[in-house]
């Protein structure tokens, strides 16, 4: 007996939430979210990542649903290697900039009636603390989401979608998976932002430690992913 669409959707939702907590996903979002000025900004990054992830994966899933085409197996390891390399670059750039003094983390407010918040910026052009909050992290989060849609266990999702007995179930499974991924990433981003804000109340050095720790974790996760992928390729 074929499962009901609601059952398929529930499985997709659960797997989507779990998918968001994979180490390489956590490494990207934690590195970016821990430098945001507010939980809202961190939440936006998580949702943008999930949107990019669902969009790129959706193209593949749509091709599977409509044509039954299968992407070459060699594509997935290449995507994994690229994700691993970018994780190392992302975390390494943070550690490098801190190391040479190009970045500085401090708490400030934009007005006498506004609450204080953390801000990470460069003092390479001067020592003034009057500056804008750059939005480059949103673009980075979107780019990583798009790339992650073609890496890791995304290949398993494509196989599961293809195995669903009807197109309605295939669509339901994928959409629920996308929603679950968004919920998971939103939870991660808000949790990290909350931790940084709580740490900042104990002093900026604690928030800085979280940010540097997230960057170091990104380097470790990226290196491990790349090494594991290379080892698998050599075994074949």
Which tens digit of pLDDT belongs to each residue from 1-57?
456 778 878 888 888 888 888 877 888 887 777 777 677 888 888 899 889 988 988
Tell which residue, 77, 51, 89, 233, has the closest CA to residue 150. Answer: 77
Tell which residue, 181, 173, 141, has the closest CA to residue 61. Answer: 173
Tell which residue, 18, 59, 26, 50, has the closest CA to residue 161. Answer: 59
| Alpha helix positions (H), the chain | 5-20, 23-33, 39-67, 75-99, 136-148, 154-163, 167-200, 204-235
Which tens digit of pLDDT belongs to each residue from 52-88?
988 988 888 888 778 776 666 677 788 788 888 888 9
Rounded to whole angstroms, what are the CA distances from 159 to 62, 70, 162, 180?
Answer: 12, 9, 5, 18
The tokens of 35 are what?
Answer: 């430098």
DSSP character string of 171-197 = HHHHHHHHHHHHHHHHHHHHHHHHHHH
> Which pLDDT belongs to residue 77?
80
pLDDT reading at 112 higher than 70: no
Which tens digit of pLDDT belongs to each residue from 155-206?
667 767 777 778 888 888 888 988 998 999 899 888 887 777 776 666 667 7
| Alpha helix positions (H), 68-153 | 75-99, 136-148
Distance of CA 40 to the CA centre of its chain: 16
Which residue would you say has higher pLDDT here, 172 or 209? 172
Please state, in angstroms and rounded to a whole number, the distance separating the CA atoms of residues 16 and 202: 35
| 135-149: average pLDDT | 79
> Which pLDDT belongs to residue 147?
82
Tell which residue, 35, 13, 88, 22, has the closest CA to residue 199. Answer: 35
Tell which residue, 104, 148, 150, 95, has the closest CA to residue 129. Answer: 104
């Amino acid at each position: 007996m074929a499962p009901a669409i609601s059952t398929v959707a529930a499985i997709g939702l659960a797997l989507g939430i779990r998918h968001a907590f994979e180490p390489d996903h956590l490494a990207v979002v934690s590195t970016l979210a821990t430098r945001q000025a507010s939980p809202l900004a961190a939440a936006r990054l998580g949702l943008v990542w999930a949107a990019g992830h669902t969009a790129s994966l959706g193209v593949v899933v749509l091709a599977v649903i409509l044509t039954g085409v299968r992407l070459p197996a060699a594509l997935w390891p290449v995507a994994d290697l690229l994700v691993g390399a970018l994780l190392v670059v992302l975390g390494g750039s943070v550690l490098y900039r801190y190391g040479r003094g190009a970045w500085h983390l401090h708490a400030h407010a934009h007005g006498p009636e506004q609450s204080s918040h953390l801000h990470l910026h460069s003092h390479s052009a001067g020592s003034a603390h009057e500056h804008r909050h750059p939005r480059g992290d949103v673009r980075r989060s979107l780019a990583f989401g798009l790339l992650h849609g073609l890496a890791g266990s995304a290949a398993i999702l494509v196989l599961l979608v293809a195995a669903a007995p009807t197109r309605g179930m295939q669509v339901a499974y994928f959409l629920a998976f996308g929603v679950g991924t968004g919920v998971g990433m939103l939870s991660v981003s808000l949790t990290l932002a909350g931790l940084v804000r709580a740490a900042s109340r104990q002093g900026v050095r604690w928030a800085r430690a979280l940010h540097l720790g997230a960057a170091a974790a990104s380097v470790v996760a990226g290196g491990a992913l790349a090494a594991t992928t290379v080892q698998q390729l050599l075994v074949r």
